[in-house]
Amino acid sequence: MNRPYANLSRRMTAMALLVALIPLNGLGLSLYYYFNYANNETLKEELRIRALNRASAIELFLAERTALLEVLAHSARLTQLSNEATLSRLLSVMNRRSWSFVDLGIIDAGGDHRAYVGPYLLKQQNYREAPWFQQAMLKGVYISDVFLGYRQVPHFVIAVKHGGDGQEWVLRATIDSDVFNRLVRTAQVGKTGDAYIVDKQGRLQTPSRLGGKVMDRAGVDLRAVPPGISVKERVNRHGDEVISAYAWLDHGDWLLVIDQNPKEMLGPLNLARNVELAVLGLASLFIIAAVLMLVRLFIRRLQANDAERAALDAQLAHSARLVSLGRMAAGVAHEINNPLAAVSELAGEVQDILVPEQAATLEEGDVIIDNLVRIQNQVERARGVTHRMLKFARRMEPHLESTDVNELLRETYSFVEKEALFNNVQVKLDLDPGLPLVQSDRAQLQQVLLNIINNALDAAGQGGWVRVNSKVEGSNLAVRVSDSGPGISRDLAERIFDPFFTTKEPGQGTGLGLSISHSIMQRLGGSLELESQAGMGAVFVIRLPNVAPEAP
Ligand code: ADP
């Protein structure tokens, strides 16, 4: 492809790609980002709601247990509760619905155990210094953080102070960690979801699924957690990106944390997003391929059209040159005719004057007579040439006239006779003497005959033969031109009438001869066809309607 076409092709490709790909990819990428955003927001909202629900459930759990203990502390007397049999019965009644209390203890104002029912040996312990005891004495009701205590097992307690009737004592119950942990774990979803409670010091109050034990550091920056419920993207202590929902529990010291790995939760949604991206990619590739193909096709078409136009322009210029050449020839022939007539006349006069008797008296008189005859002959010959030139020039103008096809064939042959002789090609004219005259355009018909005979001579080559036959065929006159050349294969036969199709060396053929001849024959109401069979020389048939010439 030469430069202007390559530039045009580049510009068209760039333009088409910009126009097609920018809106498509703009739309696709906006959808992609919207997908991402919407998916994340959906997950965050879902986590917020889950945190709210689970926090309410945990608060309800603690509130129910606290209320139960409060009713007990305020309605029973110390003497009643100091009886361990009574206390044990109360514990089993309280655990009847759900097993959530591990033990119950009554501790007097001095911190000593008055009564204890439960699996540990704590009866002798004094709790005066225990923070939960001090807080319960101070606030009336206290839910502790998880601590080891005398039993050296992580646990937490709910302590309720009895007071008002002059006696102060504390009813303390240990909450079953398994039951409580199970409750917190209900906030976990999927394979990677995690839910746990953290105290104000950032220590785990329930185990974390991803390896954190109770009382370990949870890796949550509590200062960054606003009050109430909040959701945040963060990196957890394992280095994974997670979305965390935080909910401060009512009594304000515990934080429920729900971690979710967005990759797991958003898997199906992200798949849809990725499919969208893949479709976008494929559509873009398809558009690029289509644009490249179309532009190539268009440029090829353009190139072919331009070449065709250039060749037609050249043909037109050539024809115009021929027309002016014809006119010039006519002028020249006319001009030469007069002096020739004069020469002939003068030679005739001298001949008339010089009667044979006189000539005999002259020295070399017979030579003079002989030369005069020669002059007359040469003048006649020159006249013949000028007449042919005049006839040819007249034929440049297109018009219908009475045409003798046989005579036209002989004349056309006379144009190429020298060449045929030179190339040692035997030409045989096999013309039907009964061929009628027809109404046609002699000049154009001669152009066609010349083309076909020239092609046949080219194909026959040195030592070959060409046969030209004319005859009447139904309502047509048919002229067959056969040659001894290589013939035309089936493949080539489909293309030889295409403009610019040539198998000849560059500069030898234009590939226009057959296409122009074909259209001339159509214009003249006839046809031009290839009749030869593969493997044999070519046979072209020119058919003309047998239309009688108009009366002059
Ligand atoms: P050009 O002669 O300039 O090539 P044409 O349109 O006259 O253009 O012919 C087109 C092609 O048809 C030729 O190049 C040649 O391959 C084929 N052709 C035409 N006449 C003959 C023939 N008599 N024998 C074999 N091939 C022919």
The DSSP annotation for 493-519 comes to HTTTTSTT---SPTTT--S-HHHHHHH
Q: What angle do CA 481, 526, 551 make, to 5 degrees?
A: 110
Which residues of the chain fall short of a pLDDT of 70? 1, 251-252, 318-320, 322-323, 326, 356, 359, 388, 391-398, 534, 551-552
Residue 540 near residue 459, CB atoms below 8 Å:
no
Tell me if 446 CB under 6 Å of ligand 1.
no
Tell me if 466 CB under 6 Å of ligand 1.
no
Neighbours of 177 (CB within 10 A): 19
Tell me if 198 CB under 6 Å of ligand 1.
no
Residue 143, classed as helix, strand or coil, is: strand
Neighbours of 10 (CB within 10 A): 11
Strand order in the sheet with 255-260: 194-198, 255-260, 241-248, 229-235
Cα 512 to averaged position of ligand 1 atoms, centre (Å)? 9
Residue 293 in any domain: the answer is: no
Cα 454 to averaged position of ligand 1 atoms, centre (Å)? 9
Counting from 1 in the atom list of ligand 1, the atom nearest the Cα of 511 is 8
Amino acid at 504: K
Contacts of 236 (CB under 8 A, 6+ apart): 210, 219, 242, 244, 259
Phi first, then psi: give them for residue 496, nearest 5 degrees. -65, -25
Residue 326 near residue 393, CB atoms below 8 Å:
yes
Tell me if 504 CB under 6 Å of ligand 1.
yes
**Residues 113-150 as b or e (16 or more Cβ within 10 Å = b):** bbbbbbebebeebebeebebbebbbeeebbbbbbbebe
**Residues 19-30 as b or e (16 or more Cβ within 10 Å = b):** ebbeeebeebee
Residue 220 near residue 197, CB atoms below 8 Å:
no
Counting from 1 in the atom list of ligand 1, the atom nearest the Cα of 452 is 20
Residue 504 has a pLDDT of 86
We report the CATH number of the domain holding residue 404 as 3.30.565.10
Cα 427 to averaged position of ligand 1 atoms, centre (Å)? 18
Cα 487 to averaged position of ligand 1 atoms, centre (Å)? 10
Residue 96 has a pLDDT of 87
Angle at which helices 405-422 and 442-460 cross, to 10°: 30
Cα 108 to averaged position of ligand 1 atoms, centre (Å)? 126
Residue 467 in any domain: the answer is: yes
Tell me if 514 CB under 6 Å of ligand 1.
yes
Residue 536 in any domain: the answer is: yes
Residue 395 has a pLDDT of 54
- In the chain, helix, strand, coil percent, each to 5? 55, 20, 30
Counting from 1 in the atom list of ligand 1, the atom nearest the Cα of 481 is 23
Residue 92 has a pLDDT of 93
Contacts of 125 (CB under 8 A, 6+ apart): 113, 150
Cα 451 to averaged position of ligand 1 atoms, centre (Å)? 9
Largest CA distance in the chain: 194
Strands 401-403 and 438-440: antiparallel
Exposed (0-12), middle (13-18) or buried (19+): which is 411, by Cβ within 10 Å?
middle
Cα 424 to averaged position of ligand 1 atoms, centre (Å)? 20
Unique residue bearing structure tokens 């139904």? 474
Tell me if 456 CB under 6 Å of ligand 1.
yes
Residue 326 has a pLDDT of 67
Cα 422 to averaged position of ligand 1 atoms, centre (Å)? 21
Residue 335 has a pLDDT of 86
Unique residue bearing structure tokens 């997003």? 273
Contacts of 366 (CB under 8 A, 6+ apart): 359, 360
Contacts of 505 (CB under 8 A, 6+ apart): none
Residue 196 in any domain: the answer is: no
The total number of structural domains in the chain stands at 1
Residue 421 in any domain: the answer is: yes
Cα 538 to averaged position of ligand 1 atoms, centre (Å)? 10
Cα 533 to averaged position of ligand 1 atoms, centre (Å)? 15
Cα 496 to averaged position of ligand 1 atoms, centre (Å)? 6
Tell me if 459 CB under 6 Å of ligand 1.
yes
Cα 449 to averaged position of ligand 1 atoms, centre (Å)? 14
Residue 503 in any domain: the answer is: yes
Tell me if 495 CB under 6 Å of ligand 1.
no
Tell me if 538 CB under 6 Å of ligand 1.
yes
Tell me if 497 CB under 6 Å of ligand 1.
no
Nearest CA to ligand 1 atom 23: 456
Tell me if 496 CB under 6 Å of ligand 1.
yes
Tell me if 488 CB under 6 Å of ligand 1.
yes
Q: What angle do CA 399, 400, 404 make, to 5 degrees?
A: 125
Q: What is the dihedral of CA 328, 334, 338, 340, to 10 degrees?
A: 80
Cα 485 to averaged position of ligand 1 atoms, centre (Å)? 11
Residue 39 in any domain: the answer is: no
Nearest CA to ligand 1 atom 16: 503
**Residues 492-525 as b or e (16 or more Cβ within 10 Å = b):** eeeebbebeebeeeeeebbbbbbbbbbebbeebe
Residue 198 pairs in a beta bridge with: 204, 255
Cα 524 to averaged position of ligand 1 atoms, centre (Å)? 22
**Residues 33-53 as b or e (16 or more Cβ within 10 Å = b):** eebeeebbeebbebbbebbee
How many angstroms separate the CA atoms of 238 and 415, rounded?
Answer: 100
Residue 98 has a pLDDT of 72
Quote the domain boundaries for residue 417.
398-545
Residue 319 has a pLDDT of 65
Tell me if 502 CB under 6 Å of ligand 1.
yes
Tell me if 519 CB under 6 Å of ligand 1.
no
How many angstroms separate the CA atoms of 317 and 300, rounded?
Answer: 25
* Test site for ligand 1: of 514, 517, 531, 540, most ligand atoms within 8 A of the Cβ: 514
Residue 409 in any domain: the answer is: yes
Contacts of 432 (CB under 8 A, 6+ apart): 406, 470, 471, 472
Nearest CA to ligand 1 atom 7: 513
Residue 203 DSSP label = B
Q: What is the dihedral of CA 324, 326, 332, 333, to 10 degrees?
A: -160
Exposed (0-12), middle (13-18) or buried (19+): which is 383, by Cβ within 10 Å?
middle
